[in-house]
Structure 1
Amino acid sequence: MKISTLYKSSLVLLVVLFSSCDKHLDVKPKGIVIPGTLEDYQALLSNTQEVSRTSNNSIYMSDELALLDSYRAGAIGYAGNSAIKAYDFQDELYDASESDEDWRIAYRTLYICNTILSGLENNTENNPALRDQVKGEALVHRAFTNLTLVNEYAKHYSATADTDPGIPMPLKVDINALLPRVTVKTVYQQIEKDLLQAASILPEKSNYNYHPNKAAAYGTLARMYLYMGNWNRAYEYADKAFKINSFIYDYNTFAYSVPDNKTTGQLLGYPNVNLDKKHIVLMKFSNKAGGFNYFFTFSNEQKALYGPEDLRLELASTPRNYSGTKYPDGSLGIMDLKGPYDYNNSGITTQEMLLIRAEANARLGNTASALADLEILREKRIKTVNYSKLSAASPEEVIDLVLKERRLELAFSSARLIDIKRGNLEGRNISIVHGKNTLPANDPRFVLPIPSKVISLNPNIVQNPR
C-alpha cells in the first residue's frame, strides 16, 4: 500500500477507533467501527499526529529557559496557560474542566497500541513479516509512551520503585476500566518486556523514521536502563543502537540563509523534511510545535554553559523574535523549529545514544572511552578553528563532563528535568529558579500533578503530593 493511501486510511480509522476509547483516562470517543486488518493497523501506525506526538509540559519547568515579564501575555496565548503554570511551579496545571494535553495524547497513543496488539491476537492473515512489523511498532510506541508518562507523573526510579505510585497502565482495551496507578517498578518491567519483544521481531532498518525498527527498540531500552542506573545494560543497548545508526550532523557545515534574521530563513545543510533527517532513531515530536522560539528565551544559566566556539548556541538562538524585534537586555530566543533543538528531536536520536554510552562508560570507570565518545560528538558541534579536546583529572570529572554535554545537546527535549531528578537522588542538590519562584531540590512538584479531570472521572487514581 502506498504511504499516501495509508495516511488517508489512518484518518478514517482514527475517526472510528475512538468509539470505545476509555473515558476514565480522558480520551474522548468518536465513531463506531474498529479496525481489524494488518493494513488497518499499519495505517494507524503511519499517522504521526496520533502516535508520534509526545509531552512537553515538563520542559517549561526546566532551568534551560526563561520567560520575560513583557512576553508573558503572549506566551499564555501561544503556549497556553498550563505552560505558564508549569513555569511558575504551580501545584495544578489544569482545572477539572480542562484536559491535560500531555496526558490525553499519551493515553490516545496507548489506546491505539493496545487496540492493535489486542486485534493481532485474533488476526489470521498469512503475512508474518507485516505482522511482526506492526506488532513491534506498537510495542515500541507503547513502551516509549509509558516511559515518558512515568517520568513525568511519578517519582524517578529508585530503591523505592516497588512501592512508589507510577501511572495507570492499560494493557487491554476496556472502556469500563477504572485503573489505579501501578508502581513505578511495574511500569518499568512492562516497558522492558515490550521493548525486548519488539527488538526480537523488528528489522534493523525501516523505510521511514517514524516507523520503529530494532534501533528504536534498543535506543528506548538504553534510555530506560540509564534512568534505572543500570549502566551495563544502558551501555549495551546504546551501543547496539549506535552501531545500526551512527550518523551525526556536523554543525560546521550549517549556515542560515538570512543570518541577520534566522526566524525568516532556512538552515542550510539541515533537512526541512523529517523523513530526510538521518540522526533520528525514533521520531517523536513535542506536542506544542515551536512552543519556545516566539516568547521563551535561553536562561542565563543555560546560556553560560556554551563556550564561545559552540555552534549549538549560535545555530539555535536568535536575538530577534518572530516579528523581527530584538529581545530586550540581550536575551536570546530559542529556535526550536529547526537545527540543534528541533522539536522533532523529542524521541530517540543518535546523539543521545552516544551520550548514554559515554555516561555508562564514565559511571563504570571507563573514562578514556567516555571521553572518546564525547569527542565524537563535540568535534561536530564546536568550530574547528582552535578546537581543543576535553581532559579530566578524575572519574568524577568525567561524569560531570558527560552530564554537562547532555545539558548542551539535549536541551528543550524534556531530558533536563529527568536528569535533575536523578541527579538529586545522588545528592547533587539542584534547584530551579524562575524569577521570584523557586523549585527546591527534591520538591514534590518535580513530579507533575495527575490531571484533576482524570481524578474526577476515576476515583481509583491518587493524586501526587504537592
Structure 2
Amino acid sequence: MKNIYIKILCVLTLGLTFASCNDYLDDAPKGSKIPTTLADYEAFIRDEYTNQSVNVDQALNLMNDKFIDIATLAAQRLTKANYMWDETADRIQLNQADESTYYRSYMGIATFNLIISNALNTTEATEDQKRILWAQAKILRAMSYYNLANFYAETYVASTATTKLSVPLITSADINAPSKQVSIQEMYDFILADVKDALPYLPKVSQTALHPNLGAGYAFYARVYLQMNNYTEALKYADLALVENNKLYDWNAYYIANKAVIDVANSYTNTPSPMGYTYVENYTFRHGATTYLSTEYSIPVERAQSFEVGDVRFKSRWKLRTVGADTYYRRTLSGMFNYGGITTVEVYLIKAECLARAGQISQALTVLNTVRKTRIQPASYQDIATTDKTTALNAIFRTKNNELILTLIPFADARRLNAEGIYKVSFTKTANGTTYTLKSDSHLWTMPFPQGATQNPGNGTITQNVSK
C-alpha cells in the first residue's frame, strides 16, 4: 500500500519535478506547488483519469456482460478463467498483473484521504466551501471502498459479517500509514459513517458531475443499505434521492433522432453517447475501465437476448455482427459513459425492489413501469402487471441488470441474491459443443487480490478471501 501513497504525494508537485517525498513535505521543488488553497485540493477530484475510474472488468467477464473474442481468451488466462467459469483454475496464480481495479481504487482513496485531512485547513475559501469539499471526498472514498468490498470480499451477510474479512482499510494520507484488513461488518460500518458525516454538508447542486451532490449521498446510502438487505432504510434514502433528482432520459426520443443511422443494415457508424457528464440521470459521474473519449464494450449474443423486445436503449447501443468465428453485438455509441457513478434509474429500481419486498406489488410495478416507458418503443410496450411477488421481483431484477449492464451493480446484486438464497443467480452456456455453468454458490463470485498486493501489502497484511 505504501507505494500507492508515495505516488500520490509525488504527483502533487504540479511541475512534475523529481524530489523525495519526505523533502517535498517541507520544501516545494522549483517550478512546483504545495497545495494550500481549497482550489488546489478540489483539483484532485477533477483528476478523473486517476481518481474517478472504476474498473470492474473481471466482474463483467464473470457475468458475461462483455464480449470476449477467441484471440483474447487464448491470450489472457485470468479473463478466460472467469469468462468460461473455470472452477479448476487457480486465479490467484493467474492474477499477477497490477490490476487496476485494486491499485486505481486505492490511489483514489489516497487522494480522498488527503483532501479529507486537509480541506478544512485550506486557504482562500469560506468554511462552508471547505466543508463541502471535505464531504464530497468522504462520499467518493466510501464509494471506492464499496466497490473494493464488493469485488474482493464476500457479500454482506449479517450473521457472518463480523467474522469474515473484507479489504484493507486506510484512512490516513501519510505514506507510512498502517492498513488493516477489517471485517466485512467493520467496512460497512465505516462506509455508512462516511456517508452520515458527509450528508449535512453536501450541496444540492455541485460544481461538476464529478463532485457528489446531496442526491448522490442519498442514492449511495440507498445502494449500501440494499446490499445489506435493509430494505426499510434503502427505500427511505431512495425516496430522498428522487426528491433531489427524479429525471429519466427519453431513449425513445434518442432512437427517433438517430434512427437514420441506427437502422442502416450492416453499418456500424457510431452515434454520440448521451451518458456523459450532462446525462440527466446523473447524481454523480465516474468512469469505467476507460477514462477517455471512447466506445463501450460489445456484448455476447446470449446476453443480448435478455433485453426486452422493443428496448431502444439496447437497439441504440449494440448491433449484431459476425467477424470470422466471432458473432456478437458490436457497440455503436461513442463518447463518455457513467459506469462507476450513480444514476436515477438505479434508485428507481432500488425503490421498486424495496416496495416489492414489503408486499406493495402494485406500487413497485408503477415505479418499474415508469422506467420502462422511457426505454421500450410504444409499439412494443405493455405495463408489467402481476400480483405475484416473485414475478414482480424477477421483472425488476431483469430491468436493473439490463439498465446497469457494464457496471459493478449486476455483479453485486447477484452475489446479494445468491447469499439470500431465494432468488439465486446462476448461468449456463454452450460453446463448441461443451456446456459451462456458473453456480450460485461458486467461489468464482469473489475475485482474488492481485499478487502484487498480497506480496507487498505496505504497512499491513492482506489475506486472500478466496481459495483460488
Q: Give the Cα separation in 2 of the matches to 1:192 and 1:14.
A: 37
The one-letter amino acid of 1:258's match is V
Q: 1:192 to 1:336 in 2, by over 3 A?
A: farther
- In 1, are the aligned partners of 2:49 and 2:291 still within 8 Å (CA)? no
- In 2, are the aligned partners of 1:210 and 1:283 still within 8 Å (CA)? yes
Q: 1:461 to 1:183 in 2, by over 3 A?
A: same
Q: CA deviation at 1:248?
A: 1.0
The one-letter amino acid of 1:181's match is Q
Match of 1:166 in 2: 166
Q: Give the Cα separation in 2 of the matches to 1:20 and 1:359.
A: 49
Question: Alignment partner for residue 411 of structure 1, among 377, 400, 405?
Answer: 405
Match of 2:7 in 1: none
Q: CA deviation at 1:88?
A: 3.9
Match of 1:359 in 2: 353
Q: 1:132 to 1:173 in 2, by over 3 A?
A: same
Which aligned pairs between 1:439-454 and structure 2 lie closer than 5 A? 439-454=438-453
What do the CA deviations read for 1:86-129 (whole angstroms, capped 9, x no partner)? 42454326768631111010000000011111123544665112
Match of 1:24 in 2: none
2:236 matches 1:236: yes
Which aligned pairs between 1:275-314 and structure 2 lie closer than 5 A? 275-288=277-290, 296-300=298-302, 302-314=303-315
Match of 2:224 in 1: 224
The one-letter amino acid of 1:199's match is L
The one-letter amino acid of 2:285's match is M
Give SS of 1:209's match: coil
Q: Give the Cα separation in 2 of the matches to 1:208 and 1:286.
A: 18
Which aligned pairs between 1:68-79 and structure 2 lie closer than 5 A? 68-69=69-70, 72=73
Match of 1:258 in 2: 261
Q: CA deviation at 1:446?
A: 0.8
Match of 2:146 in 1: 147
The one-letter amino acid of 1:415's match is I
Give SS of 1:356's match: helix
Identity %: 25
Q: Give the Cα separation in 2 of the matches to 1:244 and 1:294.
A: 29
Q: Give the Cα separation in 2 of the matches to 1:148 and 1:92.
A: 20
Which aligned pairs between 1:13-412 and structure 2 lie closer than 5 A? 13=14, 35-57=35-57, 58-69=59-70, 72=73, 82-89=78-85, 90-92=89-91, 98-120=97-119, 122-123=121-122, 127-159=126-158, 160-255=160-255, 256=258, 258-259=261-262, 260=264, 263-267=268-272, 271=274, 274-288=276-290, 296-300=298-302, 302-320=303-321, 326=323, 331-335=328-332, 337=334, 343-412=337-406
2:419 matches 1:431: no
Q: 1:335 to 1:126 in 2, by over 3 A?
A: closer
Q: 1:87 to 1:288 in 2, by over 3 A?
A: farther
Unaligned runs of 5+ in 2: 1-10, 23-30
- In 2, are the aligned partners of 1:65 and 1:299 still within 8 Å (CA)? no
- In 1, are the aligned partners of 2:41 and 2:119 still within 8 Å (CA)? no
- In 2, are the aligned partners of 1:178 and 1:460 still within 8 Å (CA)? no
Q: 1:263 to 1:111 in 2, by over 3 A?
A: farther
Q: Give the Cα separation in 1 of the matches to 2:308 and 2:125.
A: 57
- In 1, are the aligned partners of 2:12 and 2:35 still within 8 Å (CA)? no
Alignment length (residue pairs): 432
Give SS of 2:49's match: helix
* TM-score when normalising by structure 1: 0.83
The one-letter amino acid of 1:281's match is Y
- In 2, are the aligned partners of 1:13 and 1:44 still within 8 Å (CA)? no
- In 1, are the aligned partners of 2:309 and 2:380 still within 8 Å (CA)? no
Q: 1:121 to 1:134 in 2, by over 3 A?
A: closer
Q: Give the Cα separation in 2 of the matches to 1:134 and 1:294.
A: 31
